[in-house]
Amino acid sequence: MNRSIVVTIFVFLALCTCAVFSQEAKKPQEPEYVNVFSVLDKDGVLRPLERQPARPNSKVKALGFGGAQASYVVSNENSPVRFSSDASLQFVVRPAGPNSPGGTAANNVDPATIVQLYRLKVTKKQRELQIVKAGIFAGTKNNQEEATIPFEIVKYGEQSALMRPLKPLLPGEYMWAANAAFMVPQAYCFGIDPAKP
């Protein structure tokens, strides 16, 4: 066989091998488990958020005549996971709906209906997501909607979703939750600090 043909074939096979390895190297890191939120750092590495149980809580004033409220509370006033308000944040989750086969979100389910980002109210020794507030004369108000933070969501890797807040987050405490409509078993929390001058 002609030596130049052998060299050409060898170079071609080497380039194909390099292309395969480079494609594998560029494969994004995805969460191991469903409904676990992480922040994606600038190197493409997933970093864990603070994980806390969100406990249901209700308060009734004057036997109900003074009104009532329902909320979820998370321990401690501040998350140990902190970011600056000028940081460009991206979060990743492998979403799973309650009836998803195989533990992943069905292809025809919008992940934005499964996950939600909330701003938490800081109260004494805890953080709170107020769901509803009711009064005899004032009626019922859904406060969960006011705490909801809009975000964009796109496919990430094979089974995950990448989320970015639509606007820079104000200083405060935040929580990601999955299947969050009136049932938040786990909260994935972080805090935003003012940007340093």
Q: Mean of the pLDDT values across residues 29-51?
A: 94
Please give the mean pLDDT across all residues of the chain: 80
Are the C-beta atoms of 143 and 174 separated by less than 8 Å? no
3 state DSSP class of 49: coil
Q: 80-124, pLDDT tens digit by residue? A: 999 999 999 999 999 886 555 454 554 567 788 889 999 999 988
- How much is the pLDDT for 19? 47
The pLDDT score that the predictor gives to residue 127 is 96
Domain map of the chain by residue range? 28-193
Q: pLDDT at position 132, please?
A: 76
Q: What is the pTM of this model?
A: 0.76
Task: Please report, in angstroms and rounded to a whole number, the separation of the first and last CA atoms in the chain.
Answer: 69
176 near 52, Cβ under 8 Å? no
Residue with tokens 């935003």, as numbered in its chain: 192
Give mean pLDDT, residues 171-180: 88
The H or E element that residue 146 is part of is: helix 144-147
Find all residues with CB under 8 Å of 18, minimum gap 6, and list them: none
